[in-house]
Chains A and B, each alone.
Chain A
Amino acid sequence: MSDNGCGFPAPGLNSFLFKPLFTVGGFEFNKVMLLALVTTLVVVVFFSAAFGKAKVVPGKLQMVGEAGYDFVRRGIVYETLGKREGEKWVPLMVSLFFFVWLMNVWSVIPLAQFPVSSVIAFPMVLAAIVYITWVALTFKKHGFVGFFKNVTGYDKSLGAVLPLVMVIEFFSNLLVRPFTHAVRLFANMFAGHLMLVMFTVASWYLLNSWLVVGAGVSFLMTVAMILFELFVQAVQAYVFVLLACSYIQGALAEHH
């Protein structure tokens, strides 16, 4: 941490470091892991309550659950993959959406106040699951040669530039794609958390220095950032699942 003289503890990477809550045989269990497991618990408990004893005439909880389910199923999966092809991908996409969203939402929940998805391991796991699924599906659908044609965007009509396109497409689809898929979510949440911490710490710091107006502005910014983050959290979950669907769609597409 650099000391610029005023002593303001600017938040940095240390905001993303947690001391282990407990250690079991060298396995350090920290707050982020706890939040990840609580995410699972909340999603499973909520949807069990909503869909466990689902009725034809829904209760309030079931209605809310159905609205969320319908949003992902109709709004994302059917829109990209179509109803017939999309149906079997619904469980994966619904799981991804609510898991990612809740991991993001922890950012603004009191006591938690940390987005699980701002730790690269979690987006990476999910991106890897989507990537492996996509690669396996492409192989299954098109065979070995078809797979390479699919991922390199093989198209004879391109003529002379075809080798160049194939190299770029191969690089972009097979190597960069899983990285960008994970990092897009990670970086958004990382930056959002940093902003929130920055304004929160600044409010407190300025108040302690008796700069009340500055503290007030900083606090208002904190509130504004919380609202903005709520929006970004939902958008990032949506984008993550939308991209997953579009990758699957690419695998299902007939090669041209």
Chain B
Amino acid sequence: MIANLAQLAAEETKQNPLVPAGPELLIGTIAFAIVFFFFWKKLLPNINKVLEERRAAIEGGIEEADAMKVEAQSVLEQYKAQLAEARHEAARLRQEAQEQGAALIAEMRAEGQRQREEIVTAGHTQIEADRKAAAQTLRQDVGKLATELAGKLVGESLEDHARQSRVIDRFLDELEEKAEATR
């Protein structure tokens, strides 16, 4: 041990830690060259390929997700469009029903109006006819009564039928004309 230390101490005197030893330089170069060669030629190309594949896989996944998102979006749009269409259709039907109902009511109202007018007209016609008939009857009765009254007043001379009838009619016409004029 002592001899050993003495020997090392002796070597130490000529030892300079900043001066490299040739064999160590050689070994160092070889050792590093091997590491570099493996990394350069084999290991890093290997891992780079895998990293690239992984990146591609992740990007592929993202693209797929994007595509699905787009599809979902389009389906949603489609549903929305269909829903809007259905709503529109329903509104249209409601509108149509309203219009039809209104038209029906108007039609019925018009029909009622027409029937009412018909009835009124028929009534008027009936009344007119009755009035004419009554007037006709009245005219004859009045003529007869007046003739009788006149005959009683002036004797039998006015019994001549033809004359009598002409005079009465003329009188009545005059009366009628007067009535027309005053109306």
Contacts and interface: CB of A to CB of B under 8 A. Distances in A.
A37 B28 CA distance: 8
A68 B5 CA distance: 42
Contacts of A94: 39, 44
A121 B38 contact: no
Contact of B46 (A51, A92, A124): A51
Contacts of B15: 13, 16-17
Interface in B3-56: 5, 8-9, 11-12, 15, 17-21, 23-25, 27-32, 34-36, 38-40, 42-44, 46-47, 49-51, 53-54
A120 B38 contact: no
B18 A183 contact: yes
A173 interface: no
Contacts, number: 120
Interface of A, secondary structure class, is helix
A13 B9 CA distance: 9
> Interface size bucket, A side?
35 or more
Interface of B: 5, 8-9, 11-12, 15, 17-21, 23-25, 27-32, 34-36, 38-40, 42-44, 46-47, 49-51, 53-54, 57
Given A69-B47, A183-B18, A92 B12 contact: no
A29 to B, nearest CB: 8
Nearest to A20: B23
Interface in A117-134: 119-122, 124-126, 129
Interface centre among B8, B27, B57 (most CB of A within 10 A): B27
Contacts of B35: 39-40, 43-44, 95, 98-99
Given A13-B12, A47-B43, A91-B44, A56 B28 contact: no
Contacts of A14: 5, 8-9, 11-12
Interface string A1-40: 1000000010011101100000000011100110011011
